[in-house]
Amino acid sequence: MSTLTAGPRPSGPSRRLTSGLTWTMLRLHRTALFVWGGGLLTVLTALVWIHEAGPGIRSAVGDCTAADPFPMRCGFTHESAAEQVHTYGLALVSGCVTYLIYAIAVWAGAALTGRELESGTAHLAWTQSVTPARWLAAKLAVPAVLLTAGTTLAVLLCGWTRRAGDGELAGGWFITNVFISSGPVAVAYALAGLALGALAGLVLRRALPAAAAALAAAYVLHEVLDRFRMSLWPAVTTTGRAALHVPYGSMLLEHGSVTADGERVNTSLACVGTDGSALEACIRRGPWTDFWSTYQPQSHYWPLQLVESGLLLAVAGLATAVAFALLRRRHG
pLDDT tens profile 196-254:
999 999 999 999 999 999 999 999 999 999 999 999 999 998 887 777 778 888 898 88
Rg for the chain, CA atoms, rounded: 27
Say which residue, 144 or 169, is predicted with more confidence.
144
> Taking the CB of residue 258, how many other CB atoms lie within 10 A of it?
18
Q: Cα dihedral angle (71, 72, 74, 76), rounded to 10 degrees? A: 160
Residues paired with residue 296 on neighbouring β-strands, in sequence order:
251
Q: Do residues 254 and 293 lie in contact, with contact meaning Cβ atoms separated by under 8 Å?
A: yes
The C-alpha atoms of residue 5 and residue 313 are separated, in whole angstroms, by 53
Residues paired with residue 255 on neighbouring β-strands, in sequence order:
293
pLDDT at residue 154, rounded to an integer: 92
The count of residues in the chain is 332
How do the domains of the chain map onto residue ranges?
33-231+302-331, 251-296
Backbone angles phi, psi at 69, to 5 degrees: -70, -15
C-alpha 118 chain-centroid distance:
31
pLDDT at residue 204, rounded to an integer: 93
Say which residue, 86 or 255, is predicted with more confidence.
255
| Residue at 27: amino acid letter | R
pTM of the model: 0.81
pLDDT tens profile 70-102:
444 444 444 555 566 667 788 888 999 999 999
pLDDT at residue 227, rounded to an integer: 95
pLDDT at residue 14, rounded to an integer: 39
